[in-house]
Amino acid sequence: MSSYNSPLPVGAEQATGAYAIAIAGTAAGTNNVGNRTDSAGNVAPDFVWGNFPMQPNDERTDGTAVVAVANDYTQNYDWSGYTTYPSARLTAATTNNHTVAEAEWNNYPAFTPGVGNFKVTAASGNGTTVTYTAQNKLAVGDSVNITGLTASAYNLSAATVATADALKFTVTNAANAGEITGQWYGKVEATNALTAYDGAGITFINVPSVLGETTALALDELKDAGYEAASITTASAASNVGKTITAAARTAGSAVISITAASHGFVAGNKVTVSDISGGDGVNGAWTVLAVTSANVFTVTGTATTVQALTSLAGVVSGVAGTIKTQSVAAGTASVLSTATITITPFATAS
């Protein structure tokens, strides 16, 4: 771990090290609560071991030589042999802690909090005004985007807030789709909100696995994970031609069945149906693919645990119609924006 010593007054005997720095001038004394101040009357920073903290802009004159730096790496108590450098007042134009502080970067945190998202739980319109139920911190005149409501007429872009209090807000709009309540995915966000990378508003998602789920359950799980409804696409059902099973095997004491079907095309998590296995105790049925051993072999977990070694078979395996075959963003992917898109593809009816 590195360390940094806060500047000491010029000539202080304690100033040591290869890069000891002293700010010219003498301390002005203390303020009315006893804190030490610099020559401009600002509170002087304390000694810090480890990370150097954010410091206030002190009163410096641009171009004036005010910093003295020892140019000898040995212990230099008398400051013989040093170089003075011109210094300028700290500004947000340089890339340092002052930049993020003065630019009000939201993750620092910002001095002015970024505008976040607020959940909309109900809405109603009368042909002139739309009223939204939402705990919020909006103000009259804010420009907002409303998304995720089941009545699409109430999903507005760049709408101007007409009235607002802590529990609701209104906009002037001719939308009139009656009253909708119990909204799970409704959201309002000011159009000048900071981006998700600044820590404001839009959330990040850890993508769940929806393989093997019905389309309806998959959509619900993706929304629950944080995806916006408009960002989820259900693709046309994928071809589901049955594959011929030529072998099935199970070792004694294990419920795992190894199934051989050339170019089966399944992935772990897919739901499949195995049929027409003659003499296959516990092989026929609907299963979830446990693992894919190769392009021609996959495993499922059955119920029986007796030895099985079937060959020269003519059974059939196909995906369960209406369950998800693929998802465009892999399960477990982290830091995905809730506004990102994902496509899910179900199996078609088996053929």
Tell me what pLDDT residue 190 has: 80
Domain at 243-320: CATH code: 2.40.30.20
Tell me what pLDDT residue 117 has: 74
Tell me what pLDDT residue 302 has: 92
Would you say residue 227 has pLDDT above 70? yes
The mean pLDDT value for 75-81 works out to: 52
Tell me what pLDDT residue 71 has: 53
Would you say residue 98 has pLDDT above 90? no
The mean pLDDT value for 57-70 works out to: 49
Would you say residue 320 has pLDDT above 90? yes
Would you say residue 151 has pLDDT above 80? yes
CATH topology agreement for domains 117-198 and 243-320: yes
Tell me what pLDDT residue 344 has: 97
pLDDT in tens, 294-314: 999 999 999 889 999 999 998
Q: To 5 degrees, how large is the angle CA 147–CA 150–CA 155? A: 30
Tell me what pLDDT residue 54 has: 52
Tell me what pLDDT residue 164 has: 94
CATH architecture assigned to 117-198: Beta Barrel (2.40)
Would you say residue 261 has pLDDT above 70? yes
Tell me what pLDDT residue 94 has: 46
- Of 5-9, 66-70, 121-125, the poorest mean pLDDT is in 5-9
- Of 93-102, 157-166, 231-240, 244-253, the poorest mean pLDDT is in 93-102
Residue spans per domain, the chain:
1-103, 117-198, 204-236+325-346, 243-320
Phi, psi of 269 (to 5 degrees): 105, -20
Between 167 and 43, the higher pLDDT residue: 167
State pTM to two decimals.
Answer: 0.51
Q: What is the 3-state secondary structure (H, E, C) of the chain?
A: CCCCCCCCCCCCCCCCCCCCEEECCCCCEECCCCCEECCCCCECCCCCCCCCCCCCCCCCCCCEEEEEEECCCCCCCCCCCEEEEEECCCCCCCCCHHHHHHCCCCCCCCCCCCCCEEEECEEEECCCEEEEECCCCCCCCCEEEEECCCCHHHCCCCEEEEEECCCEEEEECCCCCCCECCCCCEEEEECCCCCHHHCCCCCEECCCCCCCCEHHHHHHHHHHHCCCHHHEEECCCECCCCEEEEEEEECCCCCEEEEEECCCCCCCCCEEEEECCCCCCCCCEEEEEEEEEECCEEEEECCCCCCEEEEEEEEEEEECCCEEEEECCCCCCCCEECCCCEEEEEECCCC
Band (23; pLDDT cuts 50, 70, 90): very low
Tell me what pLDDT residue 82 has: 54
Would you say residue 246 has pLDDT above 80? yes
pLDDT in tens, 162-221: 999 989 999 999 999 999 999 888 888 887 665 444 444 456 788 999 999 999 999 989
Q: Tell me the pLDDT of the chain averaged across its residues.
A: 76
Tell me what pLDDT residue 273 has: 96
Tell me what pLDDT residue 75 has: 47
Tell me what pLDDT residue 12 has: 43
Would you say residue 110 has pLDDT above 60? no
Would you say residue 121 has pLDDT above 70? yes
Band (338; pLDDT cuts 50, 70, 90): confident
